[in-house]
Amino acid sequence: MTSRYVAAKNVFIDSIDIDDYIELNSSMTAYQQLQHSMDKPLKMILLFGRPGTGKSILLNRIHEKLKHQKEIYYFDTPSPTEKEFFYKLFKVLTQKELPNNTEVNFTALVEFCKKLRGKREIIILLDEAQMYDADMMEKIRLLSDTRAVKFVVSLHKTEDEDLIAKAHFQSRIWEVIELKNASRDDQTAYVHKKLLKKNLFEIANSIKVKDMKLIHQVTEGNYRECNKLMFTIFEICEYYDKNEPGKLNYTHIPKKIIEMAALKLGHLHV
């Protein structure tokens, strides 16, 4: 018989699928702010935050919601080479396929964009932009200067924030939206809503306020770390459910299981 915790565990597999999006006060605020920014005559918008704060799923959601209203494209994975990036961009801008082994002339691409100004409003959502080097970012900036293409640039916030600090980049960002780790209330709502969305009512009810206090403390409110911790908690519960059910309290997740999961992931140390 399949353990009740298998379904609960699978709820927390890290994903940017639009079906896994959970509406919270903070995520709705960020969504509305980004949508409002995209309606302004801005050339570049910066979306940034530490890994696991929900940047990718926010971009995915706004793309899915607006793709029938605006000419909007989501570049979810950075192209490994400049050539591949401009192939992809050429197809978006010209709405044509580029013959194989053809080099994209960047100057011609900029001139093409200038001719589009006032005729089309193209929005490119660039995820994981920290993977692009300075030369690539400068070319993206030049394309945005044509005012035919608007870029939403998503990148990780680093300790030194070196990319953001570069004058050539920062001076051309007209709007900055920062995603932060969740408050305890938002993280509690996140965990419960994800479980309730899959009709796992009993398991959702077994996670009490004091459990969420510990989970929030361990993960510091980071959504990705929360997913990993919850997955591991339910993985441990699944083991006990199958092998030593007498050690489980089905109405409450034991503190020791949360601590075991945190130890396994390196959040706690003996």
**Number of compact structural domains in the chain:** 2
For the segment 166-192, the average pLDDT, to the nearest whole number, is: 80
Closest CA to 194 of 164, 215, 220, 168: 215
CA torsion through residues 61, 222, 262, 210, sign: negative
Query: φ and ψ at 183, to 5 degrees?
Result: -70, 170
Pairing mode, strands 149-156 and 175-179: unpaired
Q: Is residue 269 part of a domain?
A: no
Residues 60 and 152 in one domain: yes
Residues 118 and 191 in one domain: no
For the segment 215-229, the average pLDDT, to the nearest whole number, is: 95
Of residues 44 and 210, which shows the higher confidence score? 210
Give the pLDDT confidence score for residue 158 in this predicted structure: 67
Residues 42 and 8 in one domain: no
| CA-to-CA dists, residue 53 to 30, 178, 225, angstroms | 11, 9, 10
Give the pLDDT confidence score for residue 168 in this predicted structure: 47
Give the pLDDT confidence score for residue 165 in this predicted structure: 45
Contacts of 90 (CB under 8 A, 6+ apart): 96, 98, 104, 109
Does position 19 have pLDDT exceeding 80, yes or no?
A: no
Chosen domain end from 120, 147, 179: 179
Weakest-pLDDT range from 36-40, 159-163, 208-212 = 159-163
Does position 144 have pLDDT exceeding 80, yes or no?
A: yes
Residues 38 and 114 in one domain: yes
Chosen domain end from 120, 146, 179: 179
State the residue for tokens 């890290």.
Answer: 14
CATH of the domain at 145: 3.40.50.300
- Give the DSSP H or E segment for 73: strand 71-75
Give the pLDDT confidence score for residue 159 in this predicted structure: 58
Does position 222 have pLDDT exceeding 70, yes or no?
A: yes
Using DSSP, state whether 37 is helix, strand or coil.
Answer: helix
The highest-confidence range among 13-22, 40-49, 80-89, 193-202, by mean pLDDT, is 193-202
Percent of the chain with pLDDT over 70: 91
Q: Is residue 144 part of a domain?
A: yes
Residues 256 and 203 in one domain: yes
Chosen domain end from 154, 179, 204: 179
**Which range marks the domain in which residue 234 is found?**
4-15+182-264
Q: Is residue 204 part of a domain?
A: yes
Q: Is residue 11 part of a domain?
A: yes
Residues 125 and 228 in one domain: no
Residues 56 and 104 in one domain: yes
Closest CA to 74 of 154, 140, 183: 154
What distance in Å separates the CA atoms of residue 151 and residue 143, rounded to the nearest whole number? 9
Query: φ and ψ at 123, to 5 degrees?
Result: -115, 125
Confidence (pTM): 0.84
| CA-to-CA dists, residue 31 to 60, 121, 231, angstroms | 11, 20, 27
**Residue 161: which pLDDT band, with cuts at 50, 70 and 90?**
low
pLDDT in tens, 59-77: 999 999 999 999 999 998 8
Residues 104 and 115 in one domain: yes
Does position 257 have pLDDT exceeding 50, yes or no?
A: yes
